Structure 1
């Protein structure tokens, strides 16, 4: 059996080929859809086609998986569309040449993130085991609902998995293995998100269109506070996201640098895409023809409808935002005396967003514990260390309004009296934005973002995190969208302020280009200078390359298992979450009896008693020869893995019959049930 060090995965040329194949598929999807959007979105068609094509591809592959047909068939409609566009001569070189800057933005951010992943590619800590386990499971068996690699016999209908489905199917179509696809996924998320955010900047600003891109680069104020307090650089980044007591306060720079391919990060590209669509509808609704309105609202419904499957928390935020913006457009139409036919398309967005993925809701097995009232709100100083940039910008820009109507500051009093001082801080700029006689689009975004901060101070969604971390998930999952919305709003406001006459003169094109190249150069060098590898760096795009040296026994066993196809289930040692346990199911996607127990408990609860039964059965499989085969058959397990971790955890004693050795090397043995 070949060792992983002899595999082509470790050959640099093969990894380059993987990147090229991955980008080729993404570019083909985007180019196929672009002409369809050209007459509707005009100059924004090219950037919008990145996210739109990815969501449509996902939708098609998901239904292929539901129908149990090859997901590769989802590429066929794009091929037909591409041929049709060629026949109609839609690809005009002179027009495409004008779009080069959009493609450049995507590639810059893609390769910038790829550099970060190259420096620290390992699937080795935090949520990376889970992220790759889901990705690998989908690529092994792309069916809906996907198989749960950590709960043999179960499926992922207890979790929002569509983000992993997106990149698993991209990996299948492009021929990229899961351990490399893992490290190409976040670059894709950032590239698509960046080009969409730049489109938002172009939509709302005449100058300084790049300013909204800063939401991906700026750390929160706590980052600098940690440095001032003398903390080491290796802990500053982490501690800045644990600022508000017993919560998580991530921001994009941390999320992308940390590198978990987790649902809340994957969802960023779809969040900014929906924001772009809604803002475009706000600005150009009346100029769109009926067919164009249907297409735009259809894209909005697809984006909104994908949210519950990618990261369910997002829909709790963006569904109300969509309804509010649609209502504002409708009220504007009614004010101008337009009939229902001019705004009926907007009414269709919410129901269509549910209908397009209706089978998901019909099979969903998870539930929430309801809404609770926060009794220990955020410390106001900690609150400002997380959200201070936006609050400060808003207050500075609102200073004239505050001087004109100081009595509105009284809005803070009831919050303070009730003990919600942090909410009072956010309420001050909120009331002034609401009180404006004429509100612009950035004002509207600010209102949405500030409302998120206030609501999170008052309420939380109940889960299984216990009394201490009762609001951790609520703050965690709501603060990232709040950062995106508030950051977009604040940056656009600052851009508009800087563009006023007499502020900052227009910089010549050549000087702007030199400055841009200099900044981009620094960004690409930074990952090699700043210690981002966390002692796991292996300078590769293969996220499993590191086990060749750290766990050579597992390296060979994993290589053997990753080459297996068909319906397999494996037995491996069970231990604590966020450890090296569950590594075989995580690295291969082959379902195990139980992977990380607390994760599964969070998703499934323990109504059947599996939380104690499954670990006990695994122990018996390894230690009681009379029970080994019997218990393996109980879970339909076909393979038994015995490596260093299993020998350290159990007193391994296997039966002399009933198992056939299929692999042995460097202290690792794999057995298959006989017959």
Structure 2
């Protein structure tokens, strides 16, 4: 081997070796599960490359990072579909079998493409692939290490997220029995937790660890996927200049990609800069005691400061990753990023000079329009969003429509009839395909939406400016710059000529920025009605819409700053971009503030607690821990285990949440949202109290039989709620006491 090759291999091996050693040191015993998931994602991604490379063939890396997510979609969604239509059982063997079948299909596709001379592997950009893998490993490891300082699946909505996973781990059918409503199945967007369970079963790992690992896996991808997309957009915009760039300028695409990845995954918003940095600094200057900053304040600003009867939510990925929820909108981050990457790959394909559109109206023409693989896959993803996070279906159907419409304006040469006709046909196609693939979910799902209403409250202008002013102003400046550049002095000033003159990255960045602005404005006009209408009517609408706005804004800002600083010749635009970059980088400080507030002293690896999401039971529920673990170890299937019911976001339902075993009724507000039947919930709540407190043996037995209760748990929450009214003797007489804790008195009765 030549010395220069040996040197290059050695240089590449050092970072990888250091990271492997560092992960073993930081994660201790958890590192085996961490490595298992990393390697599983890598292998799945490699095997899926024939498909990914075909879809992303205009990308330098052929969609290498997107292949990991596409592999999860193909294998996981395929498994779910076959289980949901009752062709297969949801077991580890099924997950492995479907994955192997999908892998075999991809390999056959790769062989067929190789015979045709189609290259779907990034053989000419292996350095890029290597560094993408390194960056993904770094961020996956970073978030996994942090999770080990606060691993408990306890607080906020973690009981629900973890409970869904445990319920599906027990179930061989989907949807699983609702752990908080034993008479029905889960009636919520459970797709995110499903994918976590699918990967758990596929990898043979433990849900106690993979609850946390799934969210850190998504967090790693939340950096890597924006990096890949914005790197490619920047490189495309530089064109030939990228190949001839010297010095640090040749790294513009990489730098812009890193800025995008950080801005999406670990940045905060300008609320942190204003209230966490600027105002405390001014207070110090004037001799005042500076206000402390609590990181959730950045997500609870409109309606809270000042305090008005319009409580809203405006969260973003970093907050979610720190808090540790594994909710629908969190897991779906990697899927919406896949969709955005796919749409850009589609634009690059159809706008190539050698792309043959066909004569409008002919069979060849319609075949081209309706059988584009990127559009068909986008349709499947949008259909899947019904099940992973329905809000994202609505949001990204519009985003997809905008991309398709703007692209068709150019493809159809500005001919209005064909622009509208083709766009309408493709929209119908997307809806039809998306509707069909998700039928096993929608046919068994009762919507929680109660209509749309006009917003009665509106955000204060300065609040909107603080939260969204930076990306919105940047986007507006960018659009104005494009209009001036392309239309000033142009002979034809039409929408078609404007769109045709735009470079593809500029067009795509403009679409993302404008869509994000629209998502911010919609809650100021209308909101989706649900049970939270009294006091925080706009909260859920603003939450779900602006969450996606934040993701698109993060990538748009990174690209626009590069575009204005590097491509523009106007000094004032370069200066404006420089100021924007300073402010954007300033928001990254939110990460450090939130990490230190939530996780503690992460600089000390000895304080790492591990990834076990249930370890808190021994400290927070010492009376119940042994009983809960007994149930999890000894009970198979999903028999009903009765426990005291309570309000949402409380310690109640710790048994069902930690075991996945269904109880008669769980968190009240959640079931109210999912079922919208208050009378039924109140009846169940009263019946549970009667079982625990009634002295009428016949009545208790009838209720136990009515709800098919197999086990009755009597522990801390039951004692606190019912106190002296607990009918211990009657409960014990119903069957065999299969567990009893001698120190705490907690016991479990198996109903005879």
Same fold (TM over 0.5): yes
2:554 counterpart residue number:
487
1:259 counterpart residue number:
324
**Any idea what SS the aligned residue of 1:638 has?**
strand
Query: Which runs of structure 2 are paired with 1:605-620 in the superposition (5 Å)?
Result: 605-606=676-677, 609-620=679-690
Query: Which runs of structure 2 are paired with 1:566-605 in the superposition (5 Å)?
Result: 566-605=637-676
Q: Deviations over 1:578-607 (max 9, x none)?
A: 111111111111111111101110111126
How many residues get paired? 619
Q: Which one is further off, 454-463 or 174-183?
A: 174-183
1:532 counterpart residue number:
598
Residue 385 of structure 1, CA deviation: 1.9
Inter-partner Cα distance in structure 2 for 1:533 and 1:197? 26
| Unaligned stretches of 5+ residues in structure 1 | 1-10, 405-430, 505-518
2:308 counterpart residue number:
none
| Unaligned stretches of 5+ residues in structure 2 | 1-25, 115-119, 236-251, 281-288, 304-310, 357-367, 486-494, 572-584
- Is 1:562 paired with 2:632? yes
Residue 345 of structure 1, CA deviation: 6.8
1:226 counterpart residue number:
275
- Is 1:546 paired with 2:616? yes
Contact 2:410 2:499 in 1 (8 A): no
Distance change (3 Å), C-alpha of 1:12 and 1:348:
same
Superposed CA RMSD in Å reads 3.6
1:75 counterpart residue number:
96
Inter-partner Cα distance in structure 1 for 2:636 and 2:53? 43
1:296 counterpart residue number:
374
- Is 1:640 paired with 2:695? no
Distance change (3 Å), C-alpha of 1:120 and 1:140:
same
1:191 counterpart residue number:
220
- Is 1:60 paired with 2:81? no
Q: Which one is further off, 134-143 or 326-335?
A: 326-335
Query: Which runs of structure 2 are paired with 1:509-524 in the superposition (5 Å)?
Result: none
**Any idea what SS the aligned residue of 1:124 has?**
coil
Residue 217 of structure 1, CA deviation: 2.5
| Residue 177 of structure 1, aligned match among 195, 206, 209 | 206
Residue 96 of structure 1, CA deviation: 8.7
Q: Which one is further off, 132-141 or 213-222?
A: 213-222
2:258 counterpart residue number:
210
Contact 2:62 2:121 in 1 (8 A): no
1:455 counterpart residue number:
522
**Any idea what SS the aligned residue of 1:499 has?**
helix
Distance change (3 Å), C-alpha of 1:597 and 1:212:
same
Inter-partner Cα distance in structure 2 for 1:334 and 1:271? 28
1:275 counterpart residue number:
340
| Residue 536 of structure 2, aligned match among 448, 453, 469 | 469
1:243 counterpart residue number:
301
Contact 1:131 1:261 in 2 (8 A): yes
Inter-partner Cα distance in structure 1 for 2:662 and 2:622? 22
TM-score, normalising length: structure 1: 0.83
1:30 counterpart residue number:
45
**The structure with more radius of gyration:** 2
1:511 counterpart residue number:
none
Inter-partner Cα distance in structure 2 for 1:238 and 1:503? 39
Inter-partner Cα distance in structure 2 for 1:534 and 1:585? 30
Contact 1:220 1:389 in 2 (8 A): no
Residue 107 of structure 1, CA deviation: 1.6
**Any idea what SS the aligned residue of 1:543 has?**
coil
Query: Which runs of structure 2 are paired with 1:370-389 in the superposition (5 Å)?
Result: 370-389=451-470
Distance change (3 Å), C-alpha of 1:358 and 1:140:
same
Q: Deviations over 1:391-445 (max 9, x none)?
A: 23235546768999xxxxxxxxxxxxxxxxxxxxxxxxxx9xx999857221122
Distance change (3 Å), C-alpha of 1:286 and 1:342:
farther
Contact 1:180 1:543 in 2 (8 A): yes
Query: Which runs of structure 2 are paired with 1:86-235 in the superposition (5 Å)?
Result: 97-98=126-127, 99-156=129-186, 158-206=187-235, 207=252, 208-213=256-261, 214-227=263-276, 228-230=278-280, 235=293
Residue 376 of structure 1, CA deviation: 1.4
**Any idea what SS the aligned residue of 1:552 has?**
coil
1:410 counterpart residue number:
none
Q: Deviations over 1:506-552 (max 9, x none)?
A: xxxxxxxxxxxxx9xx99x9599723237998721001112222322
| Residue 621 of structure 1, aligned match among 679, 683, 691 | 691
Inter-partner Cα distance in structure 2 for 1:107 and 1:20? 10
Inter-partner Cα distance in structure 2 for 1:572 and 1:578? 16
1:15 counterpart residue number:
30
